[in-house]
Structure 1
Amino acid sequence: MWMLPGQNQSWVSEFILLGFSSDPTSNRILFIVFLLLYLCSVMGNGLIITLICLDSHLHTPMYFFLCILSLLDMACVTTTIPQMLVDLLAASKTISFARCWLQMYVFGALGLTECMFFVVMAYDRYVAICYPLSYTVILTWDLCMWLAAGTWACGFFFSVIHTFLTMSLPYCGPNIINHYFCEGPSVRSLACMDTHLIEMVDLVISVFVVLPPLSLIVASYIRIALAILKIKSTQGRCKAFSTCASHLTVVTFFYAPAIYIYIRPNSSYSPERDKQVSLFYNVFTSLLNPVVYSLRNKDIKVAFLKVMGHGRMA
C-alpha cells in the first residue's frame, strides 16, 4: 500500500481473490476438478488445431475459422484458470494491481474477439448454404485473413477502453475481490467512489460490442433457415442443419452468460451468482467447443482416424 498524493487515503497495490471456498479440503477437491477441466479443454482444442493443420482436406475457410476459435478458447481459459489453480492451494491469494489489470485486459480482449468472431463463423455458414456454388469465390483466403485479423484488432482495442474505465477508478480499500479472477464488475464494485457514470459508459460500450454481433448472427441464421427449408432433399436438409447446429449451440452457451454479466447495471451485481455464471462462458464453453465440433463433425472424426492410423503404421 502506498499513499495517494494529497490525500489521507491509501491506494490499493494488490488484490485478494476470494475464489470459491475458504475450506482447504474443498479447495483441494476444486483444484482436481478444475485441473481436469482445464487439461481437457486445452487438449481438446489443441487436438482440433493439430488435426486441421495436418489434414489438407480441412484447409478450408470453415475449418480455418474453427482453428482460430479453438485457439481463442485455449488462450481464454489459460488467462484465468492457472491463476485460480494456484490460489486454490496457496495460503496467500493475492494478485498485484498490474497483474490484475493485465488479466482483465487479456481476458476481455479474447472474450470480445470471440464474441465478434462468431459473426464471421455465421457468415461462413451463410455463404456455404445460401451461395454454395460461389463459396470459394466469395470467401477467398485474403478475405478470411482480413476477417480474422479484424476481429482480433477490434477485440483488443475495445478491451483497452473497458479495462481503462475500471482500473482508472480509485481503489482505497477493501481489496478483496469476491471472484476467482479479475473480472470488470467484480473489481469495479470495490472502487471508493460513485461509479454510476462509469457503469453507464461501460454498459453502452458493452451493448455496442455485444448486441450488433448477436443481431447479425440471428439475421444470418434466419436467412440460413429459409434456405434450408427450400432444399428438397431430406438428407440435404439434415446435413445443412447439422453444420449449423454446432455453431448455434456454442453461440448460445457463450452469449447468454456474457450478456448477463456485462449488460446489466452494477446494482444487480451478485458475487456468488456471477462466479458461477462466468464459469459457463470461460471454462465450460471452452470445453464444449471441441466436444460439439468433434462429435458432430464427420470430417474431424475422419482426420482423427487418419492421424491415428498413420501413427500405428509408423
Structure 2
Amino acid sequence: MEQANQTQTTVKEFFIVNFPGLDFQYYKLMGVIFFLIYVTTVVGNSLLVALFFIERRLQKPMYIVMLSLALSDIGFCTVALPKVIGRYWLDDGAIPFHICFFQRFLIHYFGTLNSLILLAMSLDRYLAICFPLRYPTLMTNRTMGALTGFSWVSAAVSPAISVGISTPMPFCGPNRIIHCYCDTMSIISLVCADARQILSVSTGLAMFVLLVPLILILSSYISIIVAVLKVADAQGRQKTFSTCATQVCIISIYYLPRFGVYLSSLVSYINVNPDLRISLTLFYSLFPPLLNPLIYCYRTTEIKDILSKWFCRRNAISQTPIVTTVSK
C-alpha cells in the first residue's frame, strides 16, 4: 500500500479495445450485429414491461419477478452495448476515467441483480409447485415486491465495495482495456501497484454473489423435481420438467461460463485467448437477456392469450371496411 500512496494516477481516460484480434474490415459488421442484439433485447423486454402495466391480470407475484428481470436486462444492455456499438461504428473506444468506473459498477450491479432475481424466481416456482395450497398466502404481491425490492437494493453492495477499494489505486501506465466494457478484472490489471489483495477481495465477492444464489436455485429445482415425481401424473411431470429444463438451461448459460472466466483469471497456468474470453463474457451477458422474454414470459399461457387477442383485435380493425356516406 505504500507503493500505491507514492504513485499518482496519471490516466485520464481508458481505451476499450474490444476484440483485439478482429480485423478492421469487420468493424461495421460487428457494429450491426451488436446494434441488432441491443434493439431486439430492449424491444422484447420493454414489451413485457408494457404488458405488465397494461394488463391487470398479470399483476401477480410470478410476473412481478419477471418484470424485475426484464428491467434488469434492459439496464445491463443499455450500460454495456452503446459503447461497443460506438467502438465499431465510429471507431471511438475512449472512455473517461470516472465514467469507466461508473460503468464497471453498473455492469457488476446488474450482473448481481440478475443472480438475485433468478433466485427469487426459483423460490416462487418452488412455493407454487411444492406448496400449491399455501402458495396464495405465502407468496403475495407484497411479499414478491419486498423480495425484488431487496434484490435491487442489496445488489449494489458487492460492486460498491469492489469499486470503492480499487478507485484510490494508482493508474499511471497502460490504459487499454482488453474487453468490450469496463470490468473489474480488466481494470485491476492496469493498476501500477500490487493489486493482489484487491483482486482477491473482488473475486471473493463475485464468487459469493454467484455461488450462494446458484446453490439455493439448484436446491429449489431439485426439490421441485422430487415433489413432482412423488405426486404428479405423467402429463404434469412432462410439463413441469419442460419448464424446469428450459430455466436450468438459461441458468447454466448464465453461471457456468462466468465461473470459467473468473477461475481462468486466477489460475496462472490457464492461459485463455483474449478473444475467447471476451466471447464467453458476451455470451453469458447478452444471450440470456435476449432469450429471457421468450423463455420466461412468451411461453406462459396468459401472455400468449393477451398477445393473440391484441393481434386479432388489430387485424379485425384493419380489415373493417370503411363506410362513407355521400350527402345529396
**Contact 1:17–1:95 (CA under 8 A) maintained in structure 2:** yes
- Unaligned stretches of 5+ residues in structure 2: 318-328
Over 3 Å counting, the alpha-carbon distance change for 1:190 and 1:310 in structure 2 is same
Mapped to 2, the partners of 1:67 and 1:49 lie a distance apart of 6
**Which residue does 1:20 correspond to in 2?**
19
Mapped to 2, the partners of 1:235 and 1:174 lie a distance apart of 60
Spell out the pairing of 1:186-265 with structure 2 (5 A cutoff). 186-263=186-263, 265=266
How far apart are residue 201 of structure 1 and its match? 1.5
How far apart are residue 149 of structure 1 and its match? 0.9
**Which residue does 2:293 correspond to in 1?**
290
**Which residue does 1:80 correspond to in 2?**
80
- Secondary structure at the aligned position of 2:231 is classed as coil
**Which residue does 1:276 correspond to in 2?**
279
How far apart are residue 99 of structure 1 and its match? 0.8
How far apart are residue 204 of structure 1 and its match? 2.0
Mapped to 2, the partners of 1:147 and 1:23 lie a distance apart of 46
Spell out the pairing of 1:146-225 with structure 2 (5 A cutoff). 146-225=146-225
**Contact 1:11–1:171 (CA under 8 A) maintained in structure 2:** yes
Over 3 Å counting, the alpha-carbon distance change for 1:296 and 1:59 in structure 2 is same
Write the deviation string for residues 224-244 of structure 1: whole angstroms up to 9, x where unpaired: 110110134212222222333
Select between 194-203 and 214-223 the one with higher mean Cα deviation: 194-203
**Which residue does 1:55 correspond to in 2?**
55
How far apart are residue 172 of structure 1 and its match? 0.7
How far apart are residue 294 of structure 1 and its match? 4.5
- Secondary structure at the aligned position of 1:15 is classed as strand
Over 3 Å counting, the alpha-carbon distance change for 1:122 and 1:101 in structure 2 is same
Mapped to 1, the partners of 2:97 and 2:18 lie a distance apart of 17
Mapped to 1, the partners of 2:271 and 2:111 lie a distance apart of 20
What percent of counterpart residues are identical? 32
Matched residue type, 1:292: I
How far apart are residue 89 of structure 1 and its match? 2.0
Mapped to 2, the partners of 1:222 and 1:255 lie a distance apart of 17
User: Aligned pair count?
Assistant: 310
Matched residue type, 1:302: D
**Contact 1:17–1:180 (CA under 8 A) maintained in structure 2:** yes
Select between 235-244 and 168-177 the one with higher mean Cα deviation: 235-244
Mapped to 2, the partners of 1:92 and 1:72 lie a distance apart of 26
Select between 224-233 and 286-295 the one with higher mean Cα deviation: 286-295
Select between 268-277 and 123-132 the one with higher mean Cα deviation: 268-277
Spell out the pairing of 1:37-186 with structure 2 (5 A cutoff). 37-186=37-186
Mapped to 2, the partners of 1:104 and 1:6 lie a distance apart of 25
How far apart are residue 66 of structure 1 and its match? 0.9
- Unaligned stretches of 5+ residues in structure 1: none
Mapped to 1, the partners of 2:129 and 2:213 lie a distance apart of 20
Aligned Cα RMSD in Å? 2.1
**Contact 1:125–1:244 (CA under 8 A) maintained in structure 2:** no
Write the deviation string for residues 174-205 of structure 1: whole angstroms up to 9, x where unpaired: 11111111011111111111221112212222
Matched residue type, 1:265: L
How far apart are residue 311 of structure 1 and its match? 3.2
Write the deviation string for residues 251-303 of structure 1: whole angstroms up to 9, x where unpaired: 11111122223355174574322211111222111112123235533322212
Over 3 Å counting, the alpha-carbon distance change for 1:225 and 1:279 in structure 2 is same
Over 3 Å counting, the alpha-carbon distance change for 1:242 and 1:55 in structure 2 is farther
Q: Given the two structures, how large is their TM-score scaled by the length of structure 2?
A: 0.88
Over 3 Å counting, the alpha-carbon distance change for 1:84 and 1:269 in structure 2 is farther
Over 3 Å counting, the alpha-carbon distance change for 1:232 and 1:221 in structure 2 is closer
Mapped to 2, the partners of 1:147 and 1:119 lie a distance apart of 10
Mapped to 2, the partners of 1:232 and 1:109 lie a distance apart of 39
Matched residue type, 1:35: F
Matched residue type, 1:287: L
Mapped to 1, the partners of 2:287 and 2:298 lie a distance apart of 16
**Which residue does 1:30 correspond to in 2?**
30
Over 3 Å counting, the alpha-carbon distance change for 1:225 and 1:251 in structure 2 is same
